[in-house]
Protein backbone atom coordinates (compact mmCIF):
# COMPACT_ATOMS: atom_id res chain seq x y z
CA UNK A 1 0.00 0.00 0.00
CA UNK A 2 1.22 3.44 -0.88
CA UNK A 3 0.62 5.58 2.18
CA UNK A 4 2.62 8.56 0.97
CA UNK A 5 -0.36 9.74 -0.99
CA UNK A 6 -2.45 10.21 2.15
CA UNK A 7 0.19 11.89 4.28
CA UNK A 8 -1.09 14.43 6.80
CA UNK A 9 -0.37 17.98 5.77
CA UNK A 10 1.04 20.08 8.59
CA UNK A 11 -0.10 23.65 8.40
CA UNK A 12 1.47 26.54 10.21
CA UNK A 13 -1.73 27.93 11.66
CA UNK A 14 -1.37 30.89 13.98
CA UNK A 15 -3.99 30.81 16.72
CA UNK A 16 -6.00 34.00 16.93
CA UNK A 17 -6.04 34.98 20.60
CA UNK A 18 -8.17 38.07 20.26
CA UNK A 19 -11.34 38.04 22.38
CA UNK A 20 -14.43 37.58 20.26
CA UNK A 21 -18.12 36.75 20.41
CA UNK A 22 -20.65 35.57 17.84
CA UNK A 23 -24.44 35.54 17.61
CA UNK A 24 -25.80 33.28 14.90
CA UNK A 25 -29.27 33.19 13.33
CA UNK A 26 -30.29 36.55 14.78
CA UNK A 27 -33.71 37.72 13.54
CA UNK A 28 -32.52 41.05 12.16
CA UNK A 29 -31.44 41.86 8.63
CA UNK A 30 -27.69 41.98 8.05
CA UNK A 31 -28.03 45.35 6.30
CA UNK A 32 -29.75 46.83 9.35
CA UNK A 33 -27.13 45.35 11.69
CA UNK A 34 -24.26 46.74 9.60
CA UNK A 35 -25.57 50.30 10.09
CA UNK A 36 -25.12 49.95 13.86
CA UNK A 37 -21.83 48.05 13.59
CA UNK A 38 -20.28 50.82 11.48
CA UNK A 39 -20.94 53.26 14.34
CA UNK A 40 -18.96 51.25 16.91
CA UNK A 41 -16.11 49.94 14.74
CA UNK A 42 -12.76 51.30 15.94
CA UNK A 43 -14.22 52.80 19.13
CA UNK A 44 -13.20 52.04 22.71
CA UNK A 45 -15.37 49.50 24.50
CA UNK A 46 -16.89 52.08 26.86
CA UNK A 47 -17.73 54.45 24.03
CA UNK A 48 -19.20 51.61 21.97
CA UNK A 49 -21.41 50.54 24.88
CA UNK A 50 -22.66 54.12 25.30
CA UNK A 51 -23.46 54.38 21.58
CA UNK A 52 -25.39 51.10 21.67
CA UNK A 53 -27.22 52.06 24.87
CA UNK A 54 -28.77 55.17 23.32
CA UNK A 55 -29.19 53.96 19.75
CA UNK A 56 -32.87 53.79 18.71
CA UNK A 57 -32.36 50.84 16.35
CA UNK A 58 -33.57 47.35 17.30
CA UNK A 59 -30.29 45.74 16.24
CA UNK A 60 -28.40 47.75 18.87
CA UNK A 61 -29.75 45.66 21.78
CA UNK A 62 -28.61 42.43 20.10
CA UNK A 63 -25.20 43.89 19.25
CA UNK A 64 -24.87 45.18 22.83
CA UNK A 65 -25.29 41.61 24.14
CA UNK A 66 -22.63 40.35 21.73
CA UNK A 67 -20.24 43.14 22.80
CA UNK A 68 -20.82 42.33 26.49
CA UNK A 69 -20.03 38.69 25.74
CA UNK A 70 -16.79 39.66 23.97
CA UNK A 71 -15.77 41.81 26.95
CA UNK A 72 -16.49 38.91 29.32
CA UNK A 73 -14.39 36.64 27.09
CA UNK A 74 -11.53 39.15 27.33
CA UNK A 75 -11.80 39.19 31.14
CA UNK A 76 -11.98 35.44 31.64
CA UNK A 77 -9.38 34.42 29.05
CA UNK A 78 -6.47 33.11 31.11
CA UNK A 79 -3.93 32.92 28.28
CA UNK A 80 -3.90 36.65 27.57
CA UNK A 81 -3.43 39.50 30.03
CA UNK A 82 -5.51 42.32 28.57
CA UNK A 83 -6.10 45.71 30.07
CA UNK A 84 -9.86 46.35 29.87
CA UNK A 85 -9.26 50.11 29.67
CA UNK A 86 -7.36 49.70 26.38
CA UNK A 87 -9.84 47.37 24.63
CA UNK A 88 -11.44 48.55 21.41
CA UNK A 89 -13.70 47.06 18.72
CA UNK A 90 -11.28 45.94 16.02
CA UNK A 91 -13.72 44.07 13.77
CA UNK A 92 -17.51 44.12 13.67
CA UNK A 93 -19.09 41.89 11.04
CA UNK A 94 -22.68 41.07 10.08
CA UNK A 95 -23.08 38.31 7.51
CA UNK A 96 -26.34 37.14 5.99
CA UNK A 97 -27.89 34.04 7.50
CA UNK A 98 -30.64 31.86 6.08
CA UNK A 99 -33.90 33.55 5.12
CA UNK A 100 -37.30 32.29 6.21
CA UNK A 101 -39.73 32.36 3.32
CA UNK A 102 -43.41 32.93 4.01
CA UNK A 103 -46.43 33.49 1.77
CA UNK A 104 -49.05 36.23 2.24
CA UNK A 105 -52.34 35.92 0.35
CA UNK A 106 -53.22 38.85 -1.89
CA UNK A 107 -56.19 39.87 -4.01
CA UNK A 108 -57.54 37.68 -6.81
CA UNK A 109 -55.91 34.50 -5.52
CA UNK A 110 -52.34 35.71 -5.77
CA UNK A 111 -49.55 34.98 -3.33
CA UNK A 112 -47.08 37.58 -2.10
CA UNK A 113 -43.71 36.34 -0.76
CA UNK A 114 -42.42 37.60 2.58
CA UNK A 115 -38.72 37.07 3.29
CA UNK A 116 -37.71 37.17 6.95
CA UNK A 117 -33.95 37.64 6.98
CA UNK A 118 -31.49 36.49 9.63
CA UNK A 119 -27.86 37.38 10.24
CA UNK A 120 -24.67 36.19 11.92
CA UNK A 121 -23.06 38.94 14.01
CA UNK A 122 -19.39 38.78 15.08
CA UNK A 123 -17.40 41.22 17.20
CA UNK A 124 -13.63 40.93 17.66
CA UNK A 125 -11.84 43.09 20.24
CA UNK A 126 -8.17 43.98 20.56
CA UNK A 127 -5.93 46.00 22.85
CA UNK A 128 -4.58 49.40 21.82
CA UNK A 129 -0.82 49.70 21.93
DSSP per residue over the chain, as a string? ---GGGPPPP--PPP--S-EEEEEEESS-HHHHHHHHHHHTTSBHHHHHHHHHT--STHHHHHHHHHHHHHHHHHH-SS----GGGEEEEEEEEEE-PPEEEEEE-GGG-EEEEEE--EEEEEEEEE--
- Identify the residue with better confidence: 72 or 80: 72
Q: What is the pLDDT of residues 97-111, one digit of tens each?
A: 999 999 999 999 999
Instruction: Give yes or no for residue 13 having a pLDDT over 90.
Output: no
Tell me the per-residue pLDDT of 18-54, one tens digit each, with 9 for 90 and over: 999 999 999 999 999 999 999 999 999 999 999 999 9
pTM, entire model: 0.85
The reported pLDDT for the residue numbered 79 is 62
Domain ranges of the chain: 18-127
pLDDT of residue 4: 60
At the second CATH level, the architecture of 18-127 is: Alpha-Beta Complex (3.90)
pLDDT > 70: percent of the chain: 90
Amino acid sequence: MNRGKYKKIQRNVIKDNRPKAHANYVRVSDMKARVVLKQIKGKNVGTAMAILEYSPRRASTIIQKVLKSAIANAESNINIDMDLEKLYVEEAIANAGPSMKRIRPKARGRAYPIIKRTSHISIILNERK
